[in-house]
Amino acid sequence: MPSVRATCCGWTLILSVALGLSGSVPASAQGPRAENAADQFVMAGESRLAYRSFGTGSPVVFLHRFRATMDHWDPAFLNAIAASHRVIVFDNAGVGLSSGQTPGTFAGMADDAARFLGALGVGRADVVGWSIGGMVAQALLVRHPSLVRRAVLLATIPPGGTAEQFPPMSDEVRKTVSKPAGGTDDDFLFLFFAPSEASRNAGRASLARLRTQTGVPSPPVSAEATRNQVAALTHWYRGADGILKSIRQIDRPVLVATGNQDAMFSVQQAVVLASEIPTARLSIYPDSGHAFMFQHTQSFTRLLLDFFAEAREP
């Protein structure tokens, strides 16, 4: 993958030039895939958590975005990872098919994720967190570092951000995000992809793949769980009880990645996040938004798998 690299302040910036490399990557045809993996359940503390597991190899655990369930991961993205890793997606407490109450902080969600890994018998895993899942992953790195081998933070932000530091979400974004049941296809394209026709076409292809999943869809995220996720985001913006200082002590390898036209969070926030974590590197993808990895699937998956395969260990 062509790239431009620059080193600054102890971190590495990779400006990804992914033109011509977008699209899906075929995973192994053997065994379950993202489209047909069975729902499974495990007790983690007092919550019965739903999950799906497929692929073989070292485990990669996925932490999803605001108002999302296991159904909202693009199958092409997951299958590409499952070609060489065990993929584990799950609904945290109070979300989708899982019971329990959704915590009002990302630290609480990270503790639930740690209990989930313990219940599965996974002592250490690579972790991929998207949007608020990336915030949960940061809290997991701080609170349960022994569980994380490497972390990938997708389209997310550091704790402590304010409107004075970063551009706030536009009124149009806020209105669209708050629509019931996730809104329309056009809302999906607006929130997760760039305005260009190439990016919107990639979004339409992603939507089509999302609809190939079999089985009964997970129920929409409840109003109570949504309120608690909003409370957690508000707490994060206010500093999350000093987690910003703690992420400066992270010693696990971290990959921060984002699209350069994310409607939710600015590229500047990703740059700050990568600069705050001493072991982080940053990848910015062109002509893409909050779901850049569903658009630049091939090039980003290649980067991600190379990151997981690096010999250097913490």
CATH number, residue 301: 3.40.50.1820
Helix axes 197-210, 185-192, angle to 10 degrees: 120
Q: Which domain, by its residues, includes 180? A: 26-309
16 within domain boundaries: no
The pLDDT value recorded for residue 86 is 98
- The secondary element (H helix, E strand) that includes residue 199 is helix 197-210
Q: CB-hemisphere CA count at 13 Å for 236? A: 27
- Range scoring the smallest mean pLDDT among 20-24, 87-91, 125-129: 20-24
Whole-prediction pTM: 0.89
Highest mean pLDDT among 209-223, 229-243, 249-263: 249-263
Bridge partners (DSSP) listed for residue 4: 15
C-alpha span between 67 and 220 (Å, rounded): 8
Judge whether residue 34 has pLDDT over 70.
Answer: yes
Are residues 49 and 41 in contact, defined by beta-carbon separation less than 8 angstroms?
yes
pLDDT digits (tens, 9 = 90+) for 179-212: 876 689 999 999 999 999 999 999 999 999 999 9
- Range scoring the smallest mean pLDDT among 134-143, 265-274, 299-308: 265-274
Q: Which amino acid is at 119?
A: A
Read off the pLDDT of each residue in 140-144 and give the average, rounded to a whole number. 97
Rounded to the nearest integer, the mean pLDDT of the chain is 88
CA distances from 103 to 38, 107, 287 (A): 26, 8, 34
Q: Output the CA torsion 275→308→305→309 (10° steps).
A: 130
8 within domain boundaries: no
5 within domain boundaries: no
The pLDDT value recorded for residue 55 is 97
- Range scoring the smallest mean pLDDT among 111-120, 125-134, 158-167, 210-219: 158-167
C-alpha span between 200 and 217 (Å, rounded): 24
217 within domain boundaries: yes
Residue 169: count other Cβ atoms within 10 Å of its Cβ: 16
The pLDDT value recorded for residue 313 is 54
Count the domains in the chain.
1
The pLDDT value recorded for residue 167 is 64
Instruction: Give every CB contact of residue 196 below 8 A, 6+ residues apart in sequence.
Output: 287
Q: Which amino acid is at 259?
A: G
192 within domain boundaries: yes
Are residues 58 and 125 in contact, defined by beta-carbon separation less than 8 angstroms?
yes
Highest mean pLDDT among 29-43, 123-137, 261-275: 123-137
Read off the pLDDT of each residue in 109-135 and give the average, rounded to a whole number. 98
Nearest to 236 by CA among 138, 161, 169: 161
Read off the pLDDT of each residue in 159-168 and give the average, rounded to a whole number. 65
The share of the chain scoring above pLDDT 70, in percent, equals: 86
7 within domain boundaries: no
12 within domain boundaries: no
Are residues 52 and 40 in contact, defined by beta-carbon separation less than 8 angstroms?
yes
- Going 250 to 77 to 294 to 185, the CA torsion angle's sign is negative
21 within domain boundaries: no
Judge whether residue 23 has pLDDT over 50.
Answer: no
The pLDDT value recorded for residue 161 is 63
- Range scoring the smallest mean pLDDT among 157-161, 238-242, 255-259: 238-242
